[in-house]
Structure 1
Amino acid sequence: MKLDVVLFGQTLDGDVLGRARNVAAASEVFLAIGSTLQVEPAASLCTVAARSGATLVIVNRDPTPYDEDAAFVLREDIETVVPELCAAVRS
């Protein structure tokens, strides 16, 4: 039995990555949560979203290479921020 994950050094499924890029390009808001955004090609989804007009929001304890592209950068614990974001969306 194999987990449905991609480990370092493994290739991403091209169809999955293509769908992810399409979703990022169609997003109004793109959240990058708890990621250093240093592993490609997944990290580049931030650029795809931002260039397509999405509001990029990064929630991460440490700086990322995409902070300058983000409309909002939240340097708080994700256990605190994510429930607050969910509550804000619901109201």
Structure 2
Amino acid sequence: MNYRHAAFYRDGTRFEDYAPAIYLGITAQIENPGLVFDDVVPELEARYQQICSGSTLSWAQAACAAEAAWTRARMISGAARAAFESELARRRAA
């Protein structure tokens, strides 16, 4: 994801400002694949407060980056899972 072209990007911010939120979004999706983003927001907000040092963004400002990372991680993992299942089915049929 090129953060400067993302909908959440604000002029003057650096990748380092978004990095904690992006990290949280990705890891939360991996840890909670069956949930929706809104289900984990309270936990992410609390975790963000613990790891956001160096970021100039409040959670309210960073939450959009976390959600975008969550969505991207879900899309990628879903595509990988579908490819794996397709290959498995192909091998079983052979």
Give the TM-score normalised by structure 1: 0.29
Structure number with greater Rg is: 2
1 or 2 for the larger relative contact order (CA 8 Å, sep ≥6)?
Answer: 2
- The structure carrying a bigger strand percent of its residues is 1
